[in-house]
Amino acid sequence: MEAGARTARLRSLTVSPRAFAWLAYTALAALFLIVVSGATVRLTGSGLGCENWPRCGDTFLPPQDYHAVVEFGNRVVGFAVGLTTLVAAGAAFRVPGMPRWLLWSAVALPFTVLAQGVLGGITVLFELHPLIVMGHFLLSLVALGVAVVVVQGARDLARRAGVDEPLGSAWLALALVPAALALVVSGTLVTAAGPHSGGEEIRRFGNLVEVVHIHIGATAVFGVGFLALLALLVAERRRARVELALSGAVLVLLLVQMAVGEVQWREGLPWGLVLLHVTLATAVWVCVVALAARIVLRRRARLP
């Protein structure tokens, strides 16, 4: 009887692959949200709305000030992100048949959030040094990339997907990930050199016109690589329907992003349009990593 009760308790603590997939999606959405809220802090000049960390001024709650509320709101979102990733990581240990690579990828998520929080505090202490701000944003992208891989693995586990025939475009999909990262990094250089450095008296980093040219070059390199990948997927369309749909989403996002980028430049970089541009860039990053992860994971056996 005792053994049966113990077994029943253990079963009650297990997490189904489908439930874990939902937790992974929640963590991904939260990590996307923190990127957008962090960009809002910078673009509204609220980076020093709270002059210390982790408190906001002399009290825990922010004073009645616009910049303080924006900055404190980002910290609240960060706490929620940490909680969701921690729950997903804990649940990963309770999923039957969880592959080891997927387990440790899920465990890595809350640690990336913790690192973001620490780096955020350092950013405030160093009064929004442009390089530290850039590092903070890029760490967010790394966390998003890991979350995308976890989501893809969780989906496959929930659907009990087997090994698919590998695609010839796998190598190009992998090469597109660093190209997408270079595209986003060059975009952060533009922001650092532009009128939205995070605070009202924060020094700019670099020459705006020069870094815009760098960003255009990175866009061209990524665009050529993406079109080549799209052509290969079209040739393999019978075996790559989902991958082709993801590529179509990337193409739409890129076209909208380029249109927004042109308008924001002509309008003098209003922060609302810049925020939309950053959000679209983050969405492109998520889709590119998802595309690469899906193509690569076709080669793996994911079930015991």
Q: What is the pLDDT of residues 15-27, one digit of tens each?
A: 888 999 999 999 9
Q: Is residue 38 part of a domain?
A: yes
pLDDT at residue 248 above 80? yes
Instruction: Give the pLDDT of residue 10.
Output: 44
Instruction: Give the pLDDT of residue 229.
Output: 87
pLDDT at residue 304 above 50? no
Q: Is residue 81 part of a domain?
A: yes
Q: Is residue 7 part of a domain?
A: no
CA 85 to the chain's CA centroid:
13
Q: Is residue 117 part of a domain?
A: yes
Task: Please give the average per-residue pLDDT across 289-303, as a whole number.
Answer: 70
Q: Is residue 252 part of a domain?
A: yes
Task: Please give the average per-residue pLDDT across 27-44, as a whole number.
Answer: 88
Q: Is residue 206 part of a domain?
A: yes
Instruction: Give the pLDDT of residue 294.
Output: 84
Are 37 and 77 contacting, i.e. CB atoms less than 8 angstroms apart? yes
Question: 83 exposed, middle or buried (CB, 10 Å; 0-12, 13-18, 19+)?
Answer: middle
Q: Helix or strand or coil: residue 303?
A: coil
The token duo for 27 is: 């963590």
- Give Cβ neighbours of residue 206 (< 8 Å, ≥ 6 apart): 189, 192, 193
Task: Give the highest mean pLDDT range of 162-166, 204-208, 213-217.
Answer: 213-217
Q: What is the pLDDT of residues 157-166, one digit of tens each?
A: 887 655 555 5
Instruction: Give the pLDDT of residue 162.
Output: 53
Are 284 and 180 contacting, i.e. CB atoms less than 8 angstroms apart? yes
Q: Is residue 153 part of a domain?
A: yes
Range of the domain at 191: 14-297
Instruction: Give the pLDDT of residue 87.
Output: 94
Q: Is residue 302 part of a domain?
A: no
pLDDT at residue 301 above 60? no
Task: Please give the average per-residue pLDDT across 217-229, as a whole number.
Answer: 89
pLDDT at residue 40 above 60? yes
How many other CB atoms are there within 10 angstroms of residue 267's CB atom?
Answer: 10
Number of structural domains, the chain?
1
Q: What is the pLDDT of residues 112-157, one digit of tens each?
A: 988 887 887 787 777 777 777 778 888 889 999 999 999 998 988 8
Instruction: Give the pLDDT of residue 7.
Output: 47
Q: What is the pLDDT of residues 61-117, one digit of tens each?
A: 777 777 778 888 888 888 899 999 999 999 999 998 888 999 999 999 999 988 887
